[in-house]
Amino acid sequence: MWGGRFSAGPDAIMEAINASISYDQKMAKQDIEGSRAHAAMLAAQGIIDSSDASAIRKGLLTVLSEIEGGMFAFSTALEDIHMNVESRLTEIVGPAAGRLHTARSRNDQVATDFKLWVRGQMDAAIEGLTALMKVFIGQAEAGADMVMPGFTHLQVAQPVTWGHHMMAYVEMFARDRSRFEDARRRMNESPLGAAALAGTSFPIDRHMTAEALGFDRPSANSLDAVSDRDFALEFLTSCSICATHISRIAEELVIWSSAQFRFVTISDRFSTGSSIMPQKKNPDAAELLRSKVGRITGSLVALLTIMKGLPLAYSKDMQEDKEQVFDAADSLMLSLAALTGMVADMRPNEEPLRKAAASGFSTATDLADWLVRALNMPFRDAHHVTGALVKMAEDQGSDLHELSLEQMQSVEAQITDAVYEVLGVENSVASRVSYGGTAPAQVRAQIARWKEVLS
């Protein structure tokens, strides 16, 4: 490969540190796709003979079939997927294969391959997130009226509905989906034809190869084209935020499925047992999902560190970009599939949810709001009165709705028995009719909106 410049081959250690074929073979399909587009363009521009281009394009399909069929022998000595493919192509079609690399470099070749691969993973993530959002919507629709506790600081705060809680994750994962869509639009420029860093003197048609490969346009600066890895960083950033969201619902499922909560039952398909304790049913899938964020975010930090301080244009440091992205993509897609299965299968336990919703003085805010509405009391005064009533109930081991009217009037004389209408959890959630609130009517409106969006 090095031609006449070097008089000796690389040291074994140099070969080991320099080779990337052990992982970049993952881009074989993209490498061949890019090469076929490049060969067609070279022929269309009269840079190589059409007969050579035809032989190259057919030979590349043979190489691809060998790789996909597991019959291809990858060589570390040939360093990377590009040289492995070109070497085998030479064995198949002869000297014509040597014309394929006209007007390009491994710098623009790898940038193109990597972009194509990442773009495919973005499409897969968008599809996976859409499927996940749909199962959350299914859960929300089934439990639009089901009451559960809403928490702040993991303390019971106010009653909400199961449907409202599920729709919160629809919004969360919708933002993840939009991040991938946005990043995909921004990265969809073709580096092919930028060559090593300065472009080429051959009369190539970069718009032709960009169109053939599904890019919106060729990149406008050859230096930037070969040195840019923003698309990989944006992909990892989107993966990391998405994994954080996955970790949050996974944590809730771990808590909710515990014997102390019993809010949900996770199906046997996503649970494991204990080797010593026969009664155990462990939410291992949720725990593993919770841990994936560390791995995925670690990949982002690694690539940010690799790219920090690199001068233009290409540096060999950038060979270390792919393993991080490959691993994060695999982890995210597995996580999305596992969470989709868990959410689709899980069963909310209505009675424990309702009982917990009624605990912890969860309707205290409703009482304060009632004092403002019914008695025209300033909210800060209503807050103080409600706090005193909460303390009274707490001291006698009861809940707010169990206080007698006389007890309430001992704190605030104007309170009437109409106050009890707002102290039930069902009345509480039904009253939250503001846009985006937890009232079942609002939840159903959001479900309908998202169903239309996703259709």
Residues marked active site are found at: 153, 274
Strand partners, 85: none
Amino acid letter, 254: V
The alpha carbon of residue 287 and the mean position of all alpha carbons in its chain are separated, in whole angstroms, by 17
Residue of 182, 193, 30, 225 whose CA lies nearest to 120: 30
CA distances from 436 to 15, 140, 153, 160, 167 (A): 59, 14, 21, 12, 10
Cis, peptide link before residue 313, omega less than 30° from 0: yes
In order of 19, 240, 302, 335, the CA distances from 319 in angstroms are 9, 21, 13, 26
Long-range (24+ apart) CB contacts under 8 A made by 352-355 are 352/261, 352/262, 352/263, 353/146, 353/147, 353/148, 353/149, 353/162, 353/263, 354/146, 354/147, 354/148, 354/425
Please list the alpha-helical segments (H only) found in 273-378.
Answer: 284-307, 321-345, 350-357, 364-375
Q: Are 125 and 239 in contact (CB under 8 A)?
A: yes
Helix (H) or strand (E) holding 56: helix 50-68
At 87, list the tokens: 């070497």
CA distances from 256 to 195, 259, 343 (A): 55, 8, 13
